[in-house]
Every structure is written in structure tokens, then in C-alpha cells.
């Protein structure tokens, strides 16, 4: 039952054709879990809270950094260093005190995903990495929960609805019908490595919120069975049809995955799967302190080098093939970037060019800042 205050607050929604009191009451009775309080999570948090959901859950462990503020617009400069999930809850309470907020200050994992997700009607995935996307998808399939998916990178975004309950009682396609297995880790640079257009996060996140509200209120036709691809540079949209795959390893005719698995290992991101061409920041620190001869190659962009560097030799990844003559072939080369993704690609290029004594710095300059030198500025 809606209070008088709620009837006024949601008036512009209630008077919409096909929405009415029934749609608003359905929203009030709904519980939605949002994975992440970052670029995609923020517009979802804002619009779903404003729309009048009964309960919003937020899973987030991170703190606010300066680089977040370009797209995570509910945070401010004064909030740097504060806990994201606590501040997101505070903002929801300010925006709409009628909404109950449940926070999970943790990383969602195979150990806790089923318990967390089971308490909600629908999941919105605002994560930014492959292991979490596969984990959340699989948990939603096992629990029969619909999932609103999105991803953003540079100037492009994707949105879809997975595992939606169909009129015949079956479930629609899920993430593994679109991507049965992950690509190699070095083929999927994160926003930390490749960048993201700030306004794009708001656009795609709002599209997710739109799909979630439609699902909960029983409105229109969702993106179930379709993947929307949006290019913010030329303002074009494309749609890919998604069909259920009988060979889907989790929901196909003969499922090979019947419980949550180790998703870091599945996506090739376990340290145990990193070959002997890697080096930890502590190993590098020991070598530098012992004055051992090595060539430290920084493959980040010059502006990144100016913000923080380890006094290495800077050749951006895009220029590496044309500047191989600047590198020694008789000396050990340790390659690093911001987090280890670009440096892994650089290692592959150098191997193909005949270089042999190569080491990739695991975790890049982010790991160095965290474990060796906290005075370096994060970006």
C-alpha cells in the first residue's frame, strides 16, 4: 500500500499509460541487487531508488579514488578515500528514504554469491571484470533470477537481459549463450587500461535501470534475447539476436557445470596460471636494491608516466613495434604498465621479435604503490 507521500512522489510515473498504481506497487514490493557502486552501478542506484523500489542491495568493497569522479557522479572530491557502499547508501537515503538499503561490503565470490543473490528478485550487474560476470550469471541461472547485464569500454557499451522468465515458464538466454567461454585475459583490457567515456557510463547504466524497471513493473518488451550495442561517438545502436545454445555448459541439454566454480581460474586470471615470465613487485624491488643489471620498460602512455613512474624507460605499447631498436637484447627486460595487462601484450610482441630474457611485472605500478611505495599517486 502506497502512502500519501509516495503517491505524490511517484505521481509522474503513476499517471503513465500501462503503469498506474499496479506498476508502482510492484516496484515497492521488489528487491533488486546491484553488483558494484561504480560507473554502471551509480546510475542504477540513483534511478532505481528514485523509481521507488522496496529494497536495493549493493555489493561493493572499493574506496573512492580521484579517477572515479569522472563518471561516478554521486561522489565528490571530498569523498576520496571513503567507502563507496556506505556513501551510496547515504545518497539513497537522502534521495528516497522510503527505500530500504542493504549493503554488502565485500567482493562477491563463489563462496557468498548464492546466499547474497537468493534474497533478491532481480540482479543488475555493474561489475567490470569477466570472472564476476560469469559468476553472477551462473548464480542467477542456478537461482532462477533475471539478470540485467551491461558492459562499457572506451566509447562503446552493451546491454541485455539474461535468464528472464518466459510466458511458457522457461528461462530466456543467459550470458553463456552469448559468451560460452572467456577470451584470453590479455584480449580484454579493463577500463583502467583502455579508458572509458564518462557520459557513456551514465547512458548505459540508465539503460540498465530502464530494463530493470520494465521487468519489475511488467512493462513493454525487454532486451531478453537481444544484445544492444551502443557507440557513443557516432550515436549508432546495433542489436544482436541471442539464441539459447543447447551446448551451453550451465543451462544446455547436458550441463557440465552444476555448481559455482573458481571463476578466476576459469577466466585465466589465477596467479598459478601465470607462466614463469612474470615477476612480483617484491622481486623487482630486491633486484633494484641489489643494483642488478636490468632494463625496466614502462609501456604506459607518457601522461601516465608523468603522474607516477618507477624511473623506467617509457615506450607506449602502441609505439613498441616501431621502437624495438631502443631495447637491449643482451640484458634482462622487466616490462610493466598500470596493472599488468598492457605489459603482458608487450611481452608477446617482444617474444615475436626475438627477445628472450623477459619478465612481466605482476600487478604493474598499482601493485608497486600498494606493496612497495605508498607515496606514489594512484590514477
Q: Where are the domains of the chain?
A: 4-271, 274-371
| pLDDT single digits (tens) 196-222 | 899 999 999 999 999 999 999 999 999
Phi-psi region of 18 (alpha: psi -120 to 50; beta: other; left: phi over 0): left
For this structure, is 140 an active site residue? Answer: no
Three-state DSSP at 295 gives: strand
Helices (H), the chain: 4-9, 11-14, 20-28, 41-51, 84-95, 113-117, 130-143, 175-178, 191-194, 198-217, 263-266, 281-289, 302-307, 341-352, 364-371
Confidence at 293, pLDDT banded by 50, 70, 90: confident
Return the minimum-mean-pLDDT range out of 170-184, 197-211, 255-269: 255-269
Q: Does residue 288 surpass a pLDDT of 60?
A: yes
Q: 80 φ, ψ to 5°?
A: -55, 130
Contact 159, 149 (CB under 8 A): yes
For residue 354, how far is the Cα from the chain centroid? Answer: 35
293-322: average pLDDT: 92
Return the minimum-mean-pLDDT range out of 148-162, 174-188, 201-215, 276-290: 174-188
Return the minimum-mean-pLDDT range out of 38-42, 179-183, 366-370: 179-183
Phi-psi region of 104 (alpha: psi -120 to 50; beta: other; left: phi over 0): beta
Strands 147-153 and 333-336, by their bridges, are: unpaired
Contact 87, 79 (CB under 8 A): yes
What pTM does this model have? 0.80
Strands 236-241 and 226-231, by their bridges, are: antiparallel
Q: Does residue 191 surpass a pLDDT of 70?
A: no
Catalytic residue among 191, 215, 267, 284: 191
The predicted pLDDT at position 274 comes to 40
Q: Does residue 310 surpass a pLDDT of 50?
A: yes
**Rounded Cα gap, residues 118 and 367, in angstroms:** 34
Q: Does residue 229 surpass a pLDDT of 70?
A: yes
End-to-end alpha carbon distance in the chain: 47
Contact 349, 338 (CB under 8 A): no
| pLDDT single digits (tens) 79-110 | 998 999 999 999 999 999 999 999 999 999 99
Contact 136, 35 (CB under 8 A): yes
Orientation angle between helical segments 41-51 and 84-95, nearest 10 degrees: 30
Task: Place domain 4-271 in its CATH homologous superfamily.
Answer: NAD(P)-binding Rossmann-like Domain (3.40.50.720)
Q: Positive or negative CA dihedral for 199, 202, 206, 208?
A: positive
The predicted pLDDT at position 272 comes to 37
**Rounded Cα gap, residues 192 and 157, in angstroms:** 16
Catalytic residue among 337, 341, 346, 347: 337
For this structure, is 337 an active site residue? Answer: yes
Residues 6 or more apart whose CB falls under 8 angstroms from that of 107 comprise 59, 61
Percent of the chain with pLDDT over 70: 94
Residues 6 or more apart whose CB falls under 8 angstroms from that of 352 comprise none
By C-alpha distance, which of 86, 80, 39 is closest to 58? 86
Residue written as cell 556506505? 86
Find out if CATH 1.10.10.10 is the number for domain 274-371. no
**Rounded Cα gap, residues 215 and 122, in angstroms:** 9
Q: For residue 139, what is its C-alpha cell?
A: 548464480
Amino acid at each position: 500500500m502506497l502512502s500519501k507521500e509516495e503517491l505524490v512522489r511517484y505521481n509522474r510515473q503513476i499517471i503513465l499509460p500501462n503503469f498506474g498504481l499496479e506498476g508502482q506497487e510492484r516496484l515497492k514490493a521488489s528487491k533488486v541487487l546491484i553488483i558494484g557502486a561504480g560507473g554502471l552501478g551509480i546510475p542504477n542506484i540513483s534511478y532505481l531508488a528514485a523509481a521507488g523500489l522496496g529494497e536495493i542491495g549493493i555489493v561493493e568493497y572499493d574506496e573512492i579514488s580521484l579517477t572515479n569522479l569522472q563518471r561516478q557522479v554521486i561522489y565528490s572530491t571530498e569523498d576520496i578515500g571513503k567507502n563507496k557502499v556506505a556513501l551510496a547508501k547515504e545518497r539513497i537515503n537522502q534521495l528516497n528514504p522510503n527505500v530500504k538499503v542493504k549493503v554488502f561490503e565485500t567482493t562477491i565470490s563463489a563462496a557468498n554469491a548464492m546466499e547474497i543473490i537468493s534474497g533478491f528478485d532481480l540482479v543488475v550487474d555493474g561489475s567490470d571484470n569477466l570472472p564476476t560476470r560469469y559468476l553472477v550469471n551462473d548464480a542467477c541461472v542456478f537461482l532462477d533470477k533475471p539478470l540485467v547485464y551491461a558492459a562499457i569500454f572506451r566509447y562503446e557499451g552493451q546491454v541485455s537481459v539474461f535468464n528472464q522468465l518466459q510466458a511458457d515458464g522457461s528461462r530466456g538466454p543467459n550470458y553463456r549463450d552469448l559468451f560460452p567461454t572467456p577470451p584470453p585475459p590479455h584480449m580484454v583490457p579493463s577500463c583502467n587500461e583502455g579508458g572509458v567515456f564518462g557520459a557513456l557510463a551514465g547512458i548505459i547504466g540508465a539503460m540498465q535501470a530502464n530494463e530493470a524497471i520494465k521487468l519489475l513493473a511488467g512493462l513493454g518488451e525487454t532486451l531478453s534475447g537481444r544484445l544492444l550495442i551502443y557507440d557513443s561517438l557516432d550515436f549508432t545502436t546495433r542489436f544482436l539476436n541471442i539464441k539459447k545454445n543447447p551446448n551451453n555448459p550451465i543451462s544446455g541439454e547436458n550441463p557440465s557445470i552444476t555448481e559455482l566454480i573458481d571463476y578466476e581460474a576459469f577466466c585465466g586470471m589465477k596467479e598459478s596460471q601465470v607462466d614463469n615470465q612474470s615477476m612480483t613487485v617484491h622481486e623487482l624491488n630486491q633486484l633494484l636494491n641489489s643494483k642488478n643489471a636490468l632494463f625496466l620498460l614502462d609501456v604506459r602512455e607518457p601522461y601516465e608516466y608523468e603522474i607516477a613512474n618507477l624511473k623506467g624507460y617509457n615506450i607506449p605499447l602502441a609505439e613498441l613495434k616501431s621502437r624495438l631498436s631502443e631495447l637491449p637484447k643482451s640484458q634482462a627486460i622487466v616490462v610493466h604498465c598500470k596493472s599488468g595487462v598492457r605489459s603482458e601484450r608487450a611481452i608477446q610482441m617482444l617474444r615475436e621479435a626475438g627477445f628472450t630474457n623477459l619478465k612481466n611485472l605482476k600487478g604493474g605500478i598499482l601493485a608497486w604503490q600498494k606493496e612497495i611505495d605508498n607515496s606514489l599517486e594512484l590514477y
